[in-house]
């Protein structure tokens, strides 16, 4: 897949930050059934690269599988070679943007201040991840997009079912959701029905917010 449009089209990224990734395939299947097509496995787990390869092999083109918490171009390259279809960073790293652009892989680059956001965009970021979004809320996105309407923003950190619509209405190209969507207890218990329903709720919120304008 490896197209930046896939993220904005679906409007959701599920962040999978777990110590145990043994259930990566069934949890991704549950997210897909609920309507979440972009799944990010964070490199806080050293097995993330192997898991990305495993999920892509099992699910082929059904899911858009990415690598998260990528801190440097070396990790980005490893992720891409494992099959990552997009790369997400928590902070602004220009060398990582350059590496991903060289391979033609979309990026979601972490930034916070207007200066960082514009710097990431000018360096070629596909999307700019506003992190931590919980500190500033939806109004911050709206304020930033005033002078920078061309920048595609993805709020991350603290996004939940109650504020998701507000972020979308503020102009977010997509929202990224972590433990409010995929949490360790639910995965450990193999409650795929719960995971699917959460994904469906977030998907419905995004669709409704976009329709409302």
Return the CATH number at 60.
3.20.20.70
Task: With a cut of 50, list the residues of the chain below it in pLDDT.
Answer: 1
**Contact yes or no for 170/148 (Cβ under 8 A):** no
CB atoms within 10 A of CB 191: 14
Domain that holds residue 174: 5-212
* pLDDT value of position 1: 47
CB atoms within 10 A of CB 108: 30
Catalytic residue among 29, 85, 129, 152: 129
Catalytic residue among 29, 40, 85, 196: 40
Active site residue 190: no
pLDDT digits (tens, 9 = 90+) for 118-140: 999 999 999 999 999 999 999 99
CA pair distance 70, 112, nearest whole angstrom: 17
DSSP assignment of 37-101? -EEEEETTSTTHHHHHHHHHHHHTTSSEEEEES--SHHHHHHHHHTT-SSEE-SS--HHHHHHHH
Residues paired with 176 in a beta bridge: 13, 156
* pLDDT value of position 144: 98
pLDDT digits (tens, 9 = 90+) for 42-69: 999 999 999 999 999 999 889 999 999 9
User: How many separate domains does the chain show?
Assistant: 1
Instruction: At 144, list the tokens.
Output: 């930033």
Active site residue 61: no
Taking alpha carbons only, the member of 80, 77, 81, 110 closest to residue 94 is 110
CA pair distance 79, 196, nearest whole angstrom: 26
Q: What is the side-by-side order of every strand in the sheet holding 12-16?
A: 153-155, 127-130, 107-111, 87-88, 64-68, 38-42, 12-16, 175-177
* pLDDT value of position 2: 55
* pLDDT value of position 147: 97
* pLDDT value of position 187: 98
* pLDDT value of position 213: 72
The structure's pTM equals 0.96
- Indicate the SS3 state at residue 168: helix
């Amino acid at each position: 897949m490896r197209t930046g449009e896939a993220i904005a089209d679906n409007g959701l990224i599920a962040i999978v930050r777990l110590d145990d990734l043994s259930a990566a395939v069934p949890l991704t299947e549950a997210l897909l059934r609920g309507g979440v097509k972009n799944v990010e496995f964070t490199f806080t787990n050293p097995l993330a690269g192997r898991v990305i390869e495993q999920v892509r092999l099992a699910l082929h083109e059904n899911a858009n599988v990415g690598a998260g918490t990528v801190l440097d171009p070396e990790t980005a390259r490893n992720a891409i070679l494992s099959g990552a279809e997009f790369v997400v960073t928590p902070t602004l790293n220009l060398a990582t943007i350059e590496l991903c652009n060289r391979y033609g892989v979309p990026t979601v680059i972490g930034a916070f201040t207007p200066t960082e956001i514009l710097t990431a965009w000018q360096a070629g970021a596909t999307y700019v991840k506003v992190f931590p979004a919980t500190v500033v809320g939806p109004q911050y996105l709206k304020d930033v997009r005033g002078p920078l309407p061309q920048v595609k923003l993805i709020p991350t950190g603290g996004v939940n079912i109650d504020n998701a619509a507000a972020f979308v209405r503020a102009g977010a190209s997509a929202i990224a959701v972590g433990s409010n969507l995929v949490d360790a207890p639910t995965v450990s218990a193999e409650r795929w029905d719960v995971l699917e329903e959460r994904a469906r709720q977030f998907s419905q919120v995004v669709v409704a917010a976009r329709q409302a304008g």
